[in-house]
Chain A
Amino acid sequence: MTGYLLSRLRQMVPVVFGVVTVVFLLIHLIPGDPVEIMLGESALAAQKEELRRELRLDRPVVVQYGEFLLGLAKGDLGTSFRSREPVLREILRRVPATLLLSVASMVFALLIAVPLGVLSAMRQHSPVDHLCGFLAMLGLSMPNFWLGPLLILIFSIGLGLFPVSGYGTAGHLVLPALTMGTGMAAILMRMLRSSLLEEIRQDYVRAACARGLSRRDAVLRHALANSLIPVLTVMGLQFGALLSGSIITETIFSWPGIGRLTVQAIEARDYPLVQGCILFIALCTVTVNLVTDLLYSRLDPRIRYE
């Protein structure tokens, strides 16, 4: 297991390195001058050159890339052009909000997906199954830019239950989590249903029922755990995406997460911050995938990592 873990950690390095390299090149290739954005149009050419020199932007891209990697090796992500704060501090400031929203969205998605997915599979082709299928289609079809304001209209304006937007209390978390979790719940529900249907038809479930176990217990105690592997894979991918932030949901609810920070950094051509954000997102994605792989063995003891 330790050997497998080390080997996976070794594999993560080139993935993250590749992502960071591509982003470094892309951000330097797209038009837009960070110096001009910082100093404004009215700054004198000499001032712009001075700042360019100071920020080391006058050097060839290869040299800048080398310096970036050197800093990275020392754990220094540089300083944001825009805020003059260390990039790491900028990112860490957003991590709690991002984590909170991601976990809450995932919890909400699971609270919806697991019971409805199980119900739907156990009562295949029944009206309940059709209703769940309809709800899943609805959840998948509603884009966040529409669902967010709709939830605000119902729960904030109509019922007065939650604040419209902002960050700081648990109440602020509910609507963005519902917005981000709805689509995910739909995917997980359908995934669980199809995976569980396959398991229900297996001999061991039939044998359990023949031994006197109720169908419900056979499914919940035996089939459900086995059907979770594909669900877990999708969950891992979805959770990785959640951690990288959702610019739409964060914008609607004024949520200070990583997604908005990344977009703002790109707009300001804040190269160190863009690189820092992408590094964070890449690390989150590969880490979540690794954790997902490791969880497989917990769900299915037949899976062993050597």
Chain B
Amino acid sequence: MGDVQNRFPYAVLLLAIAAASLPGCSSKPPIDDGMLVIAFPGAPSGIDPRLATDAYGTQILQMTHASLIRMDAAGNPVPDLAERWEERSPTEIVFHLREGLRFHDGKGLSSADVRYTFAWILDPANRSPHRATYGTIRAIDAPDPRTVIFHLSEPSAPFLAGMVRGIVPIGSRAAGYSPPIGAGPYRVDDFRQDSEIRLSRFDGYFGTPPAIERVVVKFLPDSNVRFLELAKGSVNFVLNGVDPDLIPAALENRNLVMEEAAGSNASYLGFNLRDPVLSEPLVRRAIACAIDRESIVRSLWKGHADLADSILAPCFWAHADGIPEVRFDPDAARRLLDSAGYRDPDGDGPKPRFRLTYKTSQNELRKQIAAVIQEQLHRVGIDLEVQSFEWGTFFSDIRKGNFQLYSLTWVNIQDPDIFYYAFHSGQVPPGGANRGGYRNPEVDRLVEKGRREPSRGKRKEIYRKVQLLLARDLPVFPLWISRNILVRDRRLEGFEITPGEDYTSVKEMTVRREKGAGR
């Protein structure tokens, strides 16, 4: 009896844990219930379209909030809430809303809501990070419920790209984790910060209502766990979240398939042009020639990246054709360094021509890439010290110009005006993103002209010249553009992978019914 009494509490506890666990795990994968379960590699800091800046928040907003326009895969504007728009003058743009638009609560969406959304962002008291994007808006009129007129202080070609912004109802308060309602194809049912967000189909959506009724987005920061969730079937859709190393193992599961498409996130090597060594264009070109990008793409990216010749992806409308390629040529790199006056002091001996530091984040892949670049530069006589920092410290150093070489990625480029922001001599931080301190009067003139030019054809020509000048001067060396990789359950169909990792087409997805489907 004494034994039984001693063991009883343990037995009860173990049984309780085991029994309580059962409701938490259904053996039936969610796809069998027609549920789409997406895994994100991180959690959004918020999902208010007026405030969200991170990629995860933006991607959720593509499912929950509708904007005046959207951008297609090539960066062309297409209608969303606005059925059409017109430019009455370079400083007056009129949007005509569709008829019968509704928010998730059933109330009508009108031009007053559009005006409210942008006025809220422009109000300094609201501290919106997007305020600078709309700096050229002078006034917004809503003459009737279906017409919105934007008055600009000056012509602004990137203005239209800024109209991809979720519209919220008048009076929506910016309340931390309680997202304001929208008019997108899915409504938010439950948002658990750092855990998951649950969405359900909005039947009052102005377009064709989505075929998939319920969507769950899980925030899974650990790449192994994302892979394991896919393997178990508790996640059935991962875009750019499976490590290249794990993809072959994921595909061993007969229910999973992989799709791959061109991406737009361009990684580059940044040079500090204020540095006496790196201010010499021959040195920058020598470094570019010394880096074997193809082998890095092959070995570290497992082939899931394309070599870049610009920070714009080739599929983007403003990308220039015919940019001279920088080929891997260590001999040419050595010759360039010799002609720049940096001769190797002891030939094949241990002494370097000069030493540089290379800063990167603590991302494992970035650190591996840094190590390979270190070895490749060593072969041409450049001693590279790699320093990896926590993101906040790393980015702060880059912003302050406290670096020689660094590597970063441009993501989600919506307009070629990025060239103004990243290379105009007046855009040196803290005002802009010309982190290397590049100065070229011709580039300045062109990027200023490009942002005022309304004609897309003329803008394309302007930015072609800019890209050629940048390819000549190499203030940054474009490395590669990672490809978008989707691993999904084979029964999920209809998703279009866009270069910008857009989730807009989730609403087009369907679940194919199969007899005897299972794991």
Contacts and interface: CB of A to CB of B under 8 A. Distances in A.
Contact of B220 (A33, A115, A165): A165
The 9 A-B pairs with the shortest beta carbon distances in the complex, nearest first, are A171-B24, A169-B24, A170-B20, A32-B392, A171-B21, A85-B176, A31-B396, A256-B194, A83-B176
Interface in A14-67: 30-33, 36-45, 47-48, 50-51, 54
Contacts of B485: none
A153 B225 CA distance: 10
Contacts of A163: 24-25, 234
Contacts of A170: 17, 20-21, 23-24
Interface string A158-179: 0011111111111111100000
B320 to A, nearest CB: 24
Contacts of B45: 82-83, 268
A173 B22 CA distance: 12
Contacts of B20: 169-171
A165 B397 contact: no
15 contacts: A31-B396, A36-B396, A39-B132, A42-B433, A93-B193, A152-B225, A157-B231, A160-B232, A164-B225, A166-B196, A170-B20, A170-B23, A172-B24, A252-B224, A256-B193
A30 B392 contact: yes
A269 interface: yes
B220 A156 contact: no
Nearest to A111: B10
Interface residues of B, number: 57
A251 interface: yes
Nearest to B2: A217
A168 B45 CA distance: 20
Interface residues of A, number: 60
A153 B228 contact: yes
A267 interface: yes
B399 A269 contact: no
B432 A41 contact: yes
Nearest to B421: A42
B361 to A, nearest CB: 11
Nearest to A108: B17
A254 interface: yes
A45 B20 CA distance: 55
Given A31-B396, A32-B396, A162-B25, 16 more contacts: A30-B393, A31-B397, A40-B132, A42-B133, A51-B127, A82-B46, A83-B176, A83-B177, A111-B13, A152-B228, A169-B25, A170-B23, A254-B195, A260-B194, A261-B194, A268-B392
Interface in A129-166: 149, 152-153, 156-157, 160-166
B392 A266 contact: yes
A33 B398 CA distance: 12
Given A85-B177, A254-B218, A43 B391 contact: no
Given A165-B220, A166-B195, A169-B24, A252 B392 contact: no
Nearest to B27: A160
Nearest to B222: A252
A256 B127 contact: no
Contacts of A266: 390, 392
A166 B10 CA distance: 26
A162 B22 CA distance: 8
Given A30-B393, A166-B218, A256 B124 contact: no
A269 B392 contact: yes
Given A30-B392, A156-B232, A174 B218 contact: no
Contacts of B53: 40
A253 interface: yes
A84 interface: yes
A199 to B, nearest CB: 19
A41 B10 contact: no
Interface in A180-196: none
Interface of B: 10, 13-14, 17, 20-25, 27, 45-46, 53, 124, 127, 129, 131-133, 135, 174-177, 192-196, 218-222, 224-225, 228-229, 231-232, 234, 390-393, 395-397, 399-400, 421, 429-433
Contacts of A37: 392
A164 B229 contact: yes
A164 B234 contact: yes
Given A166-B196, A253-B225, A45 B392 contact: no
A291 B124 CA distance: 49
B129 A254 contact: no
A279 interface: no
A84 B430 CA distance: 24
B220 A254 contact: yes
A41 B433 contact: yes
A162 B390 CA distance: 34
Contact of B431 (A32, A44, A164, A261): A44
Contact of B219 (A82, A107, A172, A254): A254
Contact of A171 (B23, B129, B132, B400): B23
Contact of A39 (B129, B177, B400): B129
A256 B192 contact: yes
Given A42-B432, A170-B17, A254 B194 contact: yes
Nearest to A94: B194
A16 B8 CA distance: 41
Contacts of B432: 41-42
Contacts of B132: 39-40, 42-44, 47
A291 B209 CA distance: 57
Interface string A75-102: 0000010111100000001000000000
